[in-house]
Chains A and B, each alone.
Chain A
Amino acid sequence: MALAPVDAVVIGAGAGGGVIAKELATAGLRVVLLERGRWIGPWDDRKDDLRNQRTSALGAPFGPDDERNPRVAVDRRGHELVVLPSDGAYSNNAACVGSGTVSYGAMAWRYMAQDFRMKSLYGCPAGSTLDDWPITYDELEPFYEKAEWEMGVSGDVAPDPFKAPRRRGLPMPPLPPNREYEILKPAALRKGWHPFDIPMLRNSVPYNGRGPCMRCRWCVGFACEVNAKNGTQNTVIPTALATGLCALRTDAMAREIVLDARGRATAVTYYDADNRLQTQPARLVVVSAGAIETARLLLNSKSQLHPNGLGNRYDWVGRNLQGHAYPRAVGLFDFDTYDDVGPGASIAICDFNHGNPGLRGGAMLANEFIRLPIQFTGMTPPDTPRWGRAHKDYMRQFYRRSIAVMGPVQEMPVFEARVQLDPRVKDFWEIPVARLSGGRHPHSVEVARAVVEKADEWLREAGAIRTWTNVPGMDLSGGQHQAGTCRMGNDPKTSVVDRNCRIHEADNIYLADASVHVTNGGFNPALTILANAYRVAAAIVRERHA
């Protein structure tokens, strides 16, 4: 039996979906927000080095669970493997109210103006589908500001001369520096670079009725037990619920979008907490299930007008799966660098996001979050044994005497890096699962190699007695920064949604998550996902009420 109709169903209560629900409900629309995961409060999460969203050896506490949610990963030689959320090749982000924004590191980056015009600036390399966004930085700027002030960002970007123009500063000052910051800052200045305090969706002072960060060791990958990290679960979603117009249904696994003969959405079907199939009719649907699951859901929503999946007439749904190529330089020191003051990441430079000779784009460089002992076990120089006496000696000598600098390199999109439906494997609810295949563009690896040299220089300037670098290879990207699978564009033949993120061929279905990103910037993506969701919501409200 169908449930009572509402104005809008939003699928996925993560970064994009949380913002959409709040904006639509506060504009007076009746909203149902469907989330396959659960609420995980700040006090439910144990700070467990082996069971967190970064090191999920014993499971991914922020979902999805290993028991019900397989995927298929195909490596570059064509071998296919059924993988679980706690496996690396799964490309997991999270599944709970707030999704990745509960357990993230909370870096809150605006992309630079150039990041929206990559093709115009650099030209498209062979083998890539590099393009410009259909919108400019200037169009997104007011929404970046809205995200920063509504959700709460601390930091100090004033010293960054490369940033795009902004009308307003950040609402909170940065956290006081940790030891790595004190070591890295003078070194960057000596190099003539422009270091500054990383913008973070984290309270440094009381904000929005919640207290500040207490500088613990377990930040990235964990919930914040003092609720100082700002995600959609403790900002916009509670606001949406407070309107009385938004119903959040957890443990609700959307199966497909139901379309009428004209190709318009009429309802969403989902499995409720008791695994009963429900039908929720709505006047409009917003899909915010994350880059991989959004593509999967569209491909699973077949109809007469959309025989190959919703929005997939030109075979662009699921294409261009990207994330970031993340090279890392590690430096060892002959003095203690570790101070046990979280979150750890504190200082960044944007000197190498653009303007690298002969290369397209680049990356922001920042020091890494606190490395837990288990994470440090794999951070050995190339000539240090991986086990035995020598490895133990290494751990003892350098655990407290290391700094890592990393950067999210902007990737060149690849058409064959993609999400499909697996023809055989189904999940617990009998829904065909995502099948991931393809690889990185060689240019992304080339840029990573160049940028990591700067990270290495930075560490040596800071006094490292030994440094080395790790550069990712050509394997498929995605992971926690997954994006790009339902590209936004003006031409329906080469994109899935229009500039307002409405599916080209279906006039009451919108997407609001990382899937619409044309390129993914040389930065962590969350703030851009949030800002774009505010922009999409404004367009929906405008169009629906016109």
Chain B
Amino acid sequence: MRKTSRRSFLAAAVLGTAACRKDAGARLSLTGEEARTLDAICDVLIPADQDPGAAAAGAVVFIDRQLAGPYRRHLRAYREGLARTDSLSRKMFAKPLDQLAGEQRLRVVTSLEQGARPFFEMVLAHTMQGFYGSPRHGGNRDYASWRMLRVPASPVRGRITYDLRQGKGS
């Protein structure tokens, strides 16, 4: 057996982390095309402005991961809804959603809201979760939404904000 020196082990470990980070982009549930369509919807639901929007904050990573976990039961609805979105977009503007400009995207999503209510509501709820929820699930990347809301991102654990001996009013 080849001996691994401590140094080469460490190097491998570092490489491993890098590989993992890259893998974080690998999808678990959706196809590339589905992910692009979903990303375009998320971008309309919570658009980028002076602060990042849902797309940049990883809402699709969040949803994709949950579809392989607690949201497994919604996978079919996503498949169907995204296909429907795609054909709607092609019908309205002869292109897939992710290739449309902002104003046209907005019109497709608005007609989704009217014509495919249950799918729209589900995506809306999950996009909000992916943007405003805990970062550990793949969304809210770099605490994007919490920074925007000025919510302290990682509170110091164990702080005590008042004097124990005095109780009220201290």
Contact = CB atoms under 8 A, between A and B. Distances in A.
Interface of A: 46-51, 57-59, 66, 86, 156, 172-177, 197, 204-206, 212, 214-217, 225-226, 340-341, 373-374, 376-377, 386-389, 391-392, 395-396, 399-400
Nearest 7 Cβ contacts at the A-B interface: A173-B167, A373-B132, A50-B133, A399-B149, A374-B132, A387-B45, A49-B134
Contacts of A204: 167-168
Interface string B128-157: 110011101100000001101111100101
A177 B145 CA distance: 28
Contacts, number: 108
B124 interface: yes
A213 to B, nearest CB: 9
Nearest to B126: A57
Interface of B: 44-47, 49, 51, 53, 66, 69-70, 106, 124-125, 127-129, 132-134, 136-137, 145-146, 148-152, 155, 157-162, 164, 167-170
B161 A341 contact: yes
Given A48-B136, A50-B134, A66-B70, A396 B164 contact: no
Given A47-B134, A51-B134, A387-B44, 10 more contacts: A48-B136, A50-B129, A58-B70, A175-B168, A176-B161, A176-B162, A214-B160, A215-B162, A374-B128, A400-B151
A389 B137 contact: no
B44 A176 contact: no
Contact of A217 (B49, B70, B155): B155
A205 B167 contact: yes
A374 B70 contact: no
10 contacts: A46-B136, A47-B134, A50-B134, A50-B137, A197-B168, A204-B167, A205-B164, A374-B132, A377-B132, A396-B148
A86 B73 CA distance: 13
A340 B155 contact: yes
B169 to A, nearest CB: 6
B134 A387 contact: no
A377 B155 contact: no
A546 B108 CA distance: 76
Contacts of B148: 395-396
A149 B132 CA distance: 40
A140 B158 CA distance: 38
Nearest to B137: A50
A399 B157 CA distance: 23
Contacts of A388: 44-47, 106
Contact of A214 (B44, B159, B169): B159
B51 A49 contact: no
Given A49-B133, A377-B128, A387-B46, A214 B168 contact: no
Contacts of A373: 132-133, 145-146, 149, 151
A122 B59 CA distance: 52
Contacts of B128: 374, 377
Given A48-B134, A217-B155, A396 B149 contact: yes
B145 A389 contact: no
A399 B159 CA distance: 23
B164 A57 contact: no
A214 B128 CA distance: 29
A191 B5 CA distance: 75
A400 B150 contact: yes
Contacts of B106: 388
B47 A386 contact: no
Nearest to B152: A340
A66 B125 CA distance: 19
Contacts of A226: 158
A205 B164 CA distance: 6
B133 A374 contact: yes
Contacts of A176: 161-162, 167-170
A172 B167 CA distance: 9
A497 B61 CA distance: 53
A156 B168 CA distance: 10
A212 B162 CA distance: 10
B75 to A, nearest CB: 15
Contacts of A377: 128, 132
Nearest to B158: A214
Nearest to B53: A392
Contact of B151 (A205, A341, A399): A399
Contacts of A174: 167-168
Contacts of B159: 214-215
Contacts of B134: 47-51
B70 A59 contact: yes
Given A57-B129, A374-B129, A387 B124 contact: yes
Contacts of A47: 134
B164 to A, nearest CB: 6
Contact of B49 (A48, A86, A387, A389): A389
B74 to A, nearest CB: 11
A216 B162 CA distance: 13
A194 B50 CA distance: 44
B128 to A, nearest CB: 5
A46 B137 CA distance: 12
Contacts of A217: 155
A388 B125 CA distance: 13
Q: Identify the interface centre among B155, B159, B170: most chain A CB within 10 Å of its CB.
A: B155
A216 B124 CA distance: 29
B98 to A, nearest CB: 18
